[in-house]
Amino acid sequence: MSEQPVDSDVWMTHPDLGAIASPPLPSGYRMRFYGEGDLDVWLRIQAHDPFFVPTAKTFAGSMPGDTALLASRVMFLVDPAGEDVGTVTAWTNDRLTGREIGQIHWVALITAARGRGLAKPMVCGACALLRERGYREACLETNTRRIPALNLYLALGFEPFVRSEPERQAWLHVAPRLRSPVCISEPARSQP
C-alpha cells in the first residue's frame, strides 16, 4: 500500500541567483512576455494543474498591476508550432523574509508538454530575469504533493524555508521521496 502524499504548502528560498546557470530552451521553443488579452492564455495553461486551478480573481489577487507591469514579469513558453504551452512569473516578495526578494511564481506547463525538460529552462529564465532586475535571492511557494517540482527546485539550489512546525513535519514526511537530500531546519520564525 503506497503512502498518501501530505498536502502542505511550503516555501523555498535560493540564497544566490547568480549560481543558477541558464540552460537554453530546446530547439524551436522561445519565451515571450505577457500582452493584452493574455489572461485567457494564462488561465488555459493553469487549467492543466492537477491540484489547483486558479481563476481570473486568483490572477488579479496574486499579481496586481497593469498590463505594463505584467508584461515585464509574466512569461509564456511558446512551442515550435507557435502554441503557448507554459508560463512562469518573475515576481517579488517582501513578506517572507522581511525584505524584498525575487519570487518565482505560477510555474505551469500544459499536460502534453510535461516530461520534455521544459520546466528547468523556464524557471532558470525567470531567475535570470530577477537577477537582471537586481535581485540576488529568490523564493517560491509550492506544495509537498508536487514531487517533480520539488526535485527541480532542489536541483537548482532552492532550499526549504521552514516557518512553522507543521511545515517542518511536511518536509520530513516528503524528504524520503525526493531525489536530493534536504536540510530541514527548525522553523525560521512563527507563521503569521
Give dist(CA 188, CA 103) in Å, integer. Answer: 18
What is the domain count for the chain? 1
CB contact at 8 A, 62 and 43? no
Residues in the chain: 192
For residues 104-120, average pLDDT: 97
CB contact at 8 A, 129 and 151? no
Residue 190: inside a domain: no
Q: Could you tell me which of 81, 84, 109 has the C-alpha nearest to residue 34?
A: 84
For residues 5-24, average pLDDT: 92
Residue 115: inside a domain: yes
Residue 114: inside a domain: yes
Q: Which helix (H) or strand (E) holds 119?
A: helix 119-132
Residue 144: inside a domain: yes
Give percent helix, percent strand, percent coil of the chain, each to the nearest 5.
30, 20, 45
Under the banding of pLDDT at 50, 70 and 90, the label for residue 134 is: very high
Find residue 105's DSSP bridge partners.
89
Domain range for 21: 9-177
- For residue range 167-176, list pLDDT tens digits in order: 999 999 999 9
Q: Is the pLDDT of residue 119 over 80?
A: yes
Under the banding of pLDDT at 50, 70 and 90, the label for residue 1 is: very low
Residue 183: inside a domain: no
- For residue range 137-181, list pLDDT tens digits in order: 999 999 999 999 999 999 999 999 999 999 999 999 999 999 999
Give dist(CA 79, CA 82) in Å, integer. Answer: 5
Under the banding of pLDDT at 50, 70 and 90, the label for residue 186 is: confident
Residue 24: inside a domain: yes
Q: Is the pLDDT of residue 5 over 90?
A: no
For residues 24-48, average pLDDT: 97
Sequence-distant (6+) residues with CB within 8 A of 39 are 56, 59
Share above pLDDT 70 across residues of the chain, in percent, rounded to a whole number: 95
What pLDDT is stored for residue 191 in this prediction? 44
Residue 4: inside a domain: no
| Set of cell numbers at residue 152 | 527541480
Find residue 76's DSSP bridge partners.
32, 87
- For residue range 37-73, list pLDDT tens digits in order: 999 999 999 999 999 999 999 999 999 999 999 999 9
Give dist(CA 75, CA 63) in Å, integer. Answer: 13
- We report the CATH number of the domain holding residue 23 as 3.40.630.30
Residue 80: inside a domain: yes
Q: Residue 74 carries which side chain, given as an amino acid letter? A: V
Give dist(CA 75, CA 88) in Å, integer. Answer: 5
